[in-house]
Amino acid sequence: MLGNFVYCNPTKLYFGKEALEGLRKELPKYGKNVLLIYGGGSIKKNGIYDAVVKILKECGKEVAEDAGVMPNPTSEKVNDGVQRARACKADLLLAVGGGSVIDYAKAVSVSVHCKEDPWTKFYLNMEEPEGEIVPVGAVLTMVGTGSEMNGGSVITNHDQKLKIGHVFGEEVFPKFACLNPEFTFTLPQYQMVAGFYDILCHILEQYLSDFDDNTSDYVMEGLMRSLVHSSLIALKDPKNYEARSNIMWTATWALNTFVAMGKTTDWEVHMLGHAVGAYTNATHGMTLSAVSMAYYRHILPYGLAKFARYAVNVWGVNAEGKSEKQVAEEGLARMEDWMRTLGLAMDLKTLGVTPDMIEGIADATYINEGGYKVLNRQEVIEILKESL
């Protein structure tokens, strides 16, 4: 049975080959000073930087820059970004990049006018912003996180060996986002497929909760089938526009809060992955793939009917003459085959995890209660060991 909920998503999307023209329409809504936020400089090599700056200048904006946002943005980097935003008196934070850059921009947006330590206030204490929030706009260059249309912001503190996500309210959502699938064409294959798995995992974190016949589940099954189909095409032909555009759109829908309505949601794979990332600084999607199979096989007995439905409706398993358990296990086996075909990390050793890290990673893993099984610490350790 669907529970009570309120749904609102204020982000305006511009999608397609001409999406960047949406920037011209949005910029007049904001003041003169723009802080341009991006990562390691790939946007300068592929021409996206020049295209964005050209539009900013033509719209009469004063542009300051905050470059070097890392794949797992840190609390130290956030503090640096806050100082840059204050120095240029930013009226708009324009994030050009993937989910990490957009996550980081949101963290800066709530921190510019915050008098307290942002890491403590927003990520350790999970408090909400109380003062002015600097608006964020986005130009997406890598798909996976859905950060272009949600309030999520994941930040890492290496000193404390913690990687924590805060899901802010609609006031922190990007005000607009420009999504041109062609901007993802030059992404290295490792990052591309990591993004593909992040998308699937986002959907599964919401799908594998509750047993109700929920409309959202039907939507998610379609999204997952589309992703699997398009991912195999993109693996062979990374510049296939139809495949990459479908994947980009699926990624946005996977985590723009829509399919979560009426669901309890799980998110334990992400909690495990975040803890691994805090210790290894590994690519986010790969930390998820490395722990997923051990986790899903562990909770399968508690959510058997849903796992069986997943096997049939997403992976095309023929249930005739098979037990529910056999169907569910065959579905996970087909999922694992797909993961290996993509070239995902299938164990933690590949990501640099050693046995002596397991206890610490377990301590850094937050336990959620929305899935089919609430883990205890020993179960977390067992799953991590099995993932080695």
Please give the structure tokens belonging to residue 114.
């915050």
pLDDT, tens digit, 9 for 90 and up, residues 178-199: 999 999 999 999 999 999 999 9
> What are the two backbone dihedrals, phi and then psi, of residue 372, each rounded to the nearest 5 degrees?
-80, -15
Same domain, 369 and 280: yes
Which CATH number does the domain housing residue 198 bear?
Answer: 1.20.1090.10
pLDDT at residue number 212: 82
Is the residue at 6 inside a domain? no
Count of domains for the chain: 2
pLDDT, tens digit, 9 for 90 and up, residues 248-270: 999 999 999 999 998 999 999 99
Same domain, 229 and 329: yes
E strand spans, the chain: 12-15, 33-37, 62-66, 92-97, 136-140, 152-157, 162-167, 176-179
Same domain, 178 and 52: yes
Is the residue at 1 inside a domain? no
Is the residue at 283 inside a domain? yes
Q: Return the percent helix, strand and coil in the chain, to nearest 5.
A: 55, 10, 35
Specify the pTM: 0.95
Which CATH number does the domain housing residue 147 bear?
Answer: 3.40.50.1970
Domain limit, last residue, from 122, 157, 183:
183
Is the residue at 3 inside a domain? no
pLDDT at residue number 294: 98
Same domain, 119 and 215: no
pLDDT at residue number 1: 63
3-state secondary structure labels for all residues of 26-75: HHHHCCCEEEEECCCCHHHHCCHHHHHHHHHHHCCCEEEEECCCCCCCEH
Same domain, 165 and 198: no
Mean pLDDT calculated for residue range 168-176:
97
Same domain, 305 and 347: yes
Is the residue at 254 inside a domain? yes
| Whether the Cβ atoms of residue 102 and residue 138 lie closer than 8 Å to each other | yes
pLDDT at residue number 3: 72
Q: Is the pLDDT of residue 2 over 90?
A: no
Same domain, 266 and 361: yes
C-alpha 19/C-alpha 262 separation (Å) is 32
pLDDT, tens digit, 9 for 90 and up, residues 327-360: 999 999 999 999 999 999 999 999 999 999 999 9
pLDDT, tens digit, 9 for 90 and up, residues 108-154: 999 999 999 999 999 999 999 998 999 999 999 999 999 999 999 99
pLDDT, tens digit, 9 for 90 and up, residues 205-251: 999 998 888 899 999 999 999 999 999 999 999 999 999 999 999 99
| Whether the Cβ atoms of residue 69 and residue 6 lie closer than 8 Å to each other | no
Domain limit, last residue, from 183, 205, 238:
183
Is the residue at 4 inside a domain? no
DSSP state of 348: S
Same domain, 124 and 211: no
Single out the residue of 348, 286, 235, 264 nearest to residue 2, CA to CA: 264
Please give the single-letter amino acid code of residue 196. F
Same domain, 137 and 258: no
Domain limit, last residue, from 183, 203, 230:
183
Same domain, 113 and 158: yes
Residue 356 CB-density burial (10 A; 0-12 exposed, 13-18 middle, 19+ buried): exposed
Same domain, 223 and 293: yes
Is the residue at 61 inside a domain? yes
Range of the domain at 383: 189-387
Q: Which residues pair with 176 in a beta bridge?
A: 12, 137
Same domain, 341 and 203: yes
Single out the residue of 353, 309, 346, 349 nearest to residue 331, CA to CA: 309
Task: Please provide the average confidence, as pLDDT, over all residues in the chain.
Answer: 96
CA distances from 349 to 91, 115, 345, 387 (A): 44, 41, 9, 8
pLDDT at residue number 213: 85
Neighbours of 258 (CB within 10 A): 16
Is the residue at 233 inside a domain? yes
CA distances from 162 to 32, 156, 377 (A): 37, 6, 17
